Amino acid sequence: MRDAQPERLASTSERRKKVCVPAVPGSLRVVTHAPPKLAGQIRLLAVALLLCLAIPAVAPAKADDKTKERVVITGPVVVERGDTSGDVVVLDGDVLVRGTVDGDLIVVKGDVTLRGRVTGDLIAVADKVTVGDRGRIDGDLRYGDKKPEGATGDKVGGEVKRFDVEAIVAPGGVGIVIGLWLAVTFSIFLLGLLLLLLAPRAADAVARSGIGKSLLVGLLAFILLPILAIVALVTVIGIPLGLVLLLALVPLYAIAYVTGAWAVGRRILKPGKARILSFLVGLVLVRLLALIPIVGGLITFLVTLLGLGALFVAMGRARKA
């Protein structure tokens, strides 16, 4: 039985050498020795990233679904003993597997403790992987930062190998970041331009809202709106309202960010200047500040709160009038 395993591993290695990723015109050609099912792993990771852009946060999850893939933005994931989950992708959160992951386990940031079985590959980008006495990985174990503990040959059916994340991302990383920044900025500009053309006087009313009051009202709205949606979902009669509120949160936050940029630009150039020019100045300023690590995220959040609060303050004044 011990002689058969090296032959199986050798054949697997030979199949990997035949993997070829065709180059697409205008894109970076990457040569990899990853298994053919890497495309499925990339698909899972892409879905997770798209969800990260569309959803502010996802509550901690328990991966006990026996058929569906699990994609978690932030929060711990636990697969209990006796439970079986499909592919699991976690962007930020610790993972504990006592049961079985029938597929691949991909963790971008978070510690992984394996006391059960992963039938596919285990990929940990940032933090450490610990394989317990009963842990078993049928495929490969790939890690990007910290060396795994307990990943011996009798527990890992494939290879245990480190991949250099910086070396993979560096050639096109700067171009990707700049391209995404320009695409998002242009999309926000088009949305703001449309709103200014459709409702110029409403935009002026929003710009007159005080900063302090708008931030406070925006923070309250940011907290209360999701709570109201969840409460509505609990009641049978309020389910449609809850669904509409949840679906409306993402476009509402986008409009709030545009409104916040417009309010910033209007305060810089003052009333009397062209509306579109004021919006452009505010947008460029907040988008440039968003590039600052850590601080940029906080500024984006504050601009969104400012716009969200300004919208509600302006609507309150209009109702009173």
β-partners of residue 123 are: 106, 142
Render pLDDT for 153-206 as a digit per residue (tens, 0 to 9).
888 998 888 876 555 555 555 667 677 788 888 999 999 999 989 988 888 888
Q: What is the pLDDT at residue 9?
A: 41
Show the CA angle centred on residue 315, arms to residues 310 and 318, nearest 5°: 125
Confidence of residue 26 (pLDDT cuts 50, 70, 90): very low
Rg of the chain over CA atoms, in angstroms?
A: 25
Q: Specify the pLDDT at position 235.
A: 84
Asked whether the predicted pLDDT for residue 91 surpasses 90, the reply is: no
pLDDT in tens, 267-318: 888 777 788 898 999 999 999 888 887 788 899 999 999 999 999 998 888 8
Picking from 16, 52, 260, the residue whose alpha carbon sits closest to that of residue 142 is: 16
Q: Within 13 Å of residue 13, how many CA atoms lie on the same side as its CB?
A: 10
Report how far Cα 260 is from the mean position of its chain's Cα atoms. Answer: 23
> How remote is the C-alpha of 1 from its chain's centroid?
44
CB 207 within 8 A of CB 266: yes
The pLDDT, as a whole number, for residue 142 is: 87
Please give the Cα distance from 137 to 106 (Å, whole number). Answer: 13
Residues counted in the chain: 321
pLDDT tens-digit series, residues 199-231: 888 888 888 888 889 999 999 999 999 999 888
Query: Which tokens belong to 196?
Result: 């200014």
pTM score, whole prediction: 0.49
User: What pLDDT was estimated at residue 6?
Assistant: 45
304, 250 in Cβ contact below 8 A? no
Neighbours of 270 (CB within 10 A): 8
Structure tokens at 274: 């062209």
